[in-house]
C-alpha cells in the first residue's frame, strides 16, 4: 500500500465520523449517548485525540455496533506512524 504513515487519530477520527453520520446522529447526540461531551467527540473526529478502551465501548453502544466495527479500520492496510518513545 502506498499510504504514508498516519497517526491512529487521523485514521480513527474520519471512521467514527462516517459511522456517526451514517446513523443520522449529530456530535451532540453521540456525545450524550456515549456519556461524554461534544468537544471530546469533535476532537476524536478531527484526530486530535484517541479514545480509551472504555470510551470505545461506550461509543459502540451509542452507535449500536460492536467495538470491532469501530477499530476494524486499522485492519484495512493503513500504516500507523510509530509514536516516539518517552525517555
- Condensed to tens digits (0 to 9), the pLDDT of residues 5-20 reads 578 999 999 999 999 9
Q: Is residue 49 part of a domain?
A: yes
DSSP states of 62-86: HHTS-HHHHHGGGGSSPPBPPPPPP
Helix, coil or strand: residue 6? strand
H-helix segments, 5-82: 8-22, 27-33, 38-45, 53-63, 67-71
Find the CATH number of the domain harbouring 31: 1.10.260.40
Q: Is residue 21 part of a domain?
A: yes
Q: Is residue 32 part of a domain?
A: yes
- Condensed to tens digits (0 to 9), the pLDDT of residues 21-63 reads 999 999 999 999 999 999 999 999 999 999 999 999 999 999 9
> Please, what is the average pLDDT of the chain?
88
- Residue 49 belongs to domain spanning: 8-72
pTM given for the model: 0.82
Q: Is residue 56 part of a domain?
A: yes
Grid cell listed for 6: 498516519
Query: Which residue is listed with cell 459511522?
Result: 19
Q: Is residue 18 part of a domain?
A: yes
Q: Is residue 43 part of a domain?
A: yes
Q: Is residue 12 part of a domain?
A: yes
When divided into structural domains, the chain yields a total of 1
Amino acid at each position: 500500500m502506498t499510504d504514508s504513515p498516519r497517526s491512529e487519530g487521523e485514521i480513527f477520527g474520519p471512521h467514527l465520523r462516517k459511522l456517526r453520520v451514517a446513523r443520522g446522529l449529530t456530535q451532540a447526540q453521540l456525545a450524550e449517548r456515549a456519556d461524554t461531551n461534544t468537544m471530546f467527540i469533535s476532537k476524536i473526529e478531527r484526530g486530535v485525540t484517541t479514545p480509551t478502551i472504555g470510551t470505545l465501548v461506550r461509543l459502540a453502544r451509542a452507535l449500536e455496533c460492536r467495538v470491532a466495527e469501530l477499530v476494524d479500520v486499522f485492519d484495512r492496510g493503513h500504516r500507523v506512524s510509530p509514536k516516539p518513545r518517552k525517555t
